[in-house]
């Protein structure tokens, strides 16, 4: 997509799927040793890639992203803040921040695929990103996610496709106490409220009036 004047104006008009919950996220976040915070990371660039990683096109695409993950859970970190998540043996999701990421990521990947078998699709508005962080973040997630989230099975830097509160999400543990959830845009409201509900007990436990 060419960055014309119209496109620049459109950028200013964008509204993220959970923007109406930002105030609630701030209110619901809890500080302290049992704290947990929630916020949205809006407008990340996401590119769906389907390619056989061993094919020539796969090698060319890996050169753009700085490698493709080999097995379930792996995340390949490349230059310019681009990370590639493993979705299936021949399906990957490249994620880059809205600002400071690589502006021509989609074009570069499309060019790398060329006419070979596979696909490169800009999925930036397909999903949004909710970031759950803090010492109690894992406990909040474990209430409604059946995957094993213990650090011995789910270390920082791994990402899996699973369900949280019956919502299909990509779950990426981006730091020791930080989880990034990628729900589809239409589920952002539900999942945001669902997580806020799971966080309430920690606010109550930290409140001296609770006992």
Partner 1 sequence: MLLFSCPNCGPRNETEFHYGGQAHVAYPEHPEELSDREWAEYLFYRENPKGLFAERWVHSAGCRKWFNMVRDTVSYDIKAVYRMGEAPPVELAAAAATQAATNHNAPEGAKP
Identity of the residue, 33 or 88, whose beta carbon is nearer to partner 1 in the bound complex? 88
Identity of the residue, 55 or 162, whose beta carbon is nearer to partner 1 in the bound complex? 162
- Least distance from partner 1 to the Cβ atom of residue 194, Å: 16
Segment holding 39, helix H or strand E: strand 37-41
Dihedral pair phi/psi, residue 41, rounded to 5°: -110, 95
Identity of the residue, 89 or 114, whose beta carbon is nearer to partner 1 in the bound complex? 89
- Least distance from partner 1 to the Cβ atom of residue 72, Å: 5
Identity of the residue, 5 or 146, whose beta carbon is nearer to partner 1 in the bound complex? 146
Q: Which residues bind partner 1 (CB under 8 A)?
A: 72, 87-89, 91, 146-148, 160-163, 168
Would the CA dihedral through 22, 28, 32, 38 be positive or negative? negative
- Least distance from partner 1 to the Cβ atom of residue 63, Å: 24
Please give the order of strands across the beta sheet that includes 83-88: 75-77, 83-88, 91-96, 45-50, 119-122
Query: Distance between CA 110 and CA 107 in Å, rounded?
Result: 5
Query: Distance between CA 35 and CA 1 in Å, rounded?
Result: 42
Q: Cα 30 to the chain's mean position, in Å?
A: 22
Query: Distance between CA 146 and CA 129 in Å, rounded?
Result: 20
- Least distance from partner 1 to the Cβ atom of residue 153, Å: 9
Report which of 170, 197, 50 is spatially closest to residue 116, judged by C-alpha positions: 50
Cα 7 to Cα 4, 83, 99, 130, distances in angstroms: 5, 25, 15, 25
- Least distance from partner 1 to the Cβ atom of residue 92, Å: 11
- Least distance from partner 1 to the Cβ atom of residue 95, Å: 18
Identity of the residue, 74 or 201, whose beta carbon is nearer to partner 1 in the bound complex? 74
Identity of the residue, 72 or 155, whose beta carbon is nearer to partner 1 in the bound complex? 72
């Amino acid at each position: 997509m060419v960055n014309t004047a119209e496109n620049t104006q459109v950028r200013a008009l964008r509204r993220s799927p959970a923007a109406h919950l930002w105030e609630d996220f701030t209110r619901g976040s809890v500080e302290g040793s049992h704290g947990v915070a929630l916020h949205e990371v809006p407008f990340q660039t996401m590119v769906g890639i389907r390619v056989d990683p061993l094919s020539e096109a796969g090698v060319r695409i890996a050169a753009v992203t700085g490698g493709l993950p080999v097995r379930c859970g792996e995340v390949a970190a490349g230059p310019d803040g681009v990370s590639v998540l493993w979705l299936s043996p021949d399906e990957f999701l490249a994620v880059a921040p809205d600002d400071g990421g690589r502006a021509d990521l989609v074009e570069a990947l499309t060019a790398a695929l060329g006419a070979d078998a596979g696909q490169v699709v800009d999925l930036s508005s397909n999903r949004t990103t909710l970031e759950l962080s803090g010492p109690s973040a894992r406990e909040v997630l474990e209430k409604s996610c059946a995957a094993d989230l213990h650090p011995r099975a789910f270390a920082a830097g791994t990402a899996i496709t699973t369900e949280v509160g019956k919502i299909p999400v990509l779950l990426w543990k981006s730091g020791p106490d930080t989880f990034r959830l990628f729900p589809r845009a239409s589920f952002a409201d539900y999942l945001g409220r669902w997580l806020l509900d799971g966080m309430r007990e920690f606010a109550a436990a930290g409140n001296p009036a609770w006992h």
